[in-house]
């Protein structure tokens, strides 16, 4: 009986040690990958992505090439990981907003602030990664990230606003969504260079344009 109990204890201790070992390995891998990500972004502050080599990345990260290739196939996969990590955070945050909007029916008196709380708006999640976004959207970045943001926001608007019951053609609806996406990306571009603006300030401005229109906004600002 004592022998059987000791076996159980030994198995339990072995599993604990195994989990601790795997945790350390995972932590080390994550730390290494983070270093490569930071190095690529740092290089992209002054150098176009196309001109950056794996040697540039490994030298700045203080790792050898073999370590790099254990984690990534090439520099494009590294860039894709950075972009996807940011957008995964965005998608998770936006899914909660979509669920809240879909609980309510859109009326003629629609105001975005009736469906999305200003202190929980979709600009907040971008604020947390704004410095990285600035680099990726900048002159030295890749067009892939801009396209991914456009697709992410297009999906967000289409899932948020069900326009099936509206008297609008498919083309009009598509143009509307393209307008919303284009204006959002332009504001995001502006924000990366004017980071003193808060997510709430941007959201209230953006929602005002959505609810009242550009012309009414200009009329309200006339002297």
Exposure of 25 in the CB half-sphere (CA atoms within 13 A): 6
pLDDT tens by residue, 175-212: 988 998 998 899 999 999 998 989 889 888 888 887 77
User: Is the model's pLDDT at 94 over the cut of 80?
Assistant: no
170-193 and 130-137 helices, crossing angle to 10°: 110
The distance of Cα 194 from the centroid of its chain, to the nearest Å, equals 19
Instruction: Return the closest-CA partner of residue 142 out of 23, 43, 29.
Output: 43
Q: What percent of the chain has pLDDT over 70?
A: 76
Instruction: Return the closest-CA partner of residue 199 out of 126, 137, 111, 149.
Output: 126
pLDDT band at 21 (very low <50, low <70, confident <90, very high): very low
Contact (CB, 8 A) for 110 and 116: no
Contact (CB, 8 A) for 127 and 37: no
Contact (CB, 8 A) for 160 and 102: yes
User: Is the model's pLDDT at 122 over the cut of 60?
Assistant: yes
Pick from 25-34, 186-195, 212-221 the range whose average pLDDT is largest: 186-195
pLDDT band at 47 (very low <50, low <70, confident <90, very high): very high
């Amino acid at each position: 009986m004592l022998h059987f109990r000791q076996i159980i204890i030994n198995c339990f201790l072995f599993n604990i040690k195994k989990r601790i070992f795997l945790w350390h390995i995972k932590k080390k891998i994550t730390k290494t990958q983070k270093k490569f990500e930071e190095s690529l972004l740092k290089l992209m502050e002054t150098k176009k992505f196309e001109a950056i080599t794996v040697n540039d990345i490994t030298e700045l990260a203080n790792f050898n090439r073999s370590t790099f290739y254990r984690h990534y196939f090439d520099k494009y996969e590294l860039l894709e990981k950075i972009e996807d990590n940011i957008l995964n955070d965005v998608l998770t945050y936006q899914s909660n907003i979509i669920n809240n909007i879909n609980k309510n029916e859109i009326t003629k008196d629609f105001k975005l602030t009736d469906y999305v709380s200003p202190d929980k708006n979709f600009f907040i999640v971008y604020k947390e990664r704004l410095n990285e976004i600035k680099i990726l959207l900048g002159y030295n970045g890749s067009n892939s990230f801009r396209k991914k943001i456009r697709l992410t926001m297009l999906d967000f608007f289409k899932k948020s606003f069900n326009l099936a019951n509206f008297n609008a053609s498919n083309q009009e609806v598509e143009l509307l969504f393209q307008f919303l996406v284009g204006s959002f990306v332009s504001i995001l571009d502006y924000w990366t260079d004017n980071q003193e603006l808060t997510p709430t300030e941007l959201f209230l401005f953006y929602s005002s344009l959505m609810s009242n229109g550009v012309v009414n906004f200009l009329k309200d600002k006339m002297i």
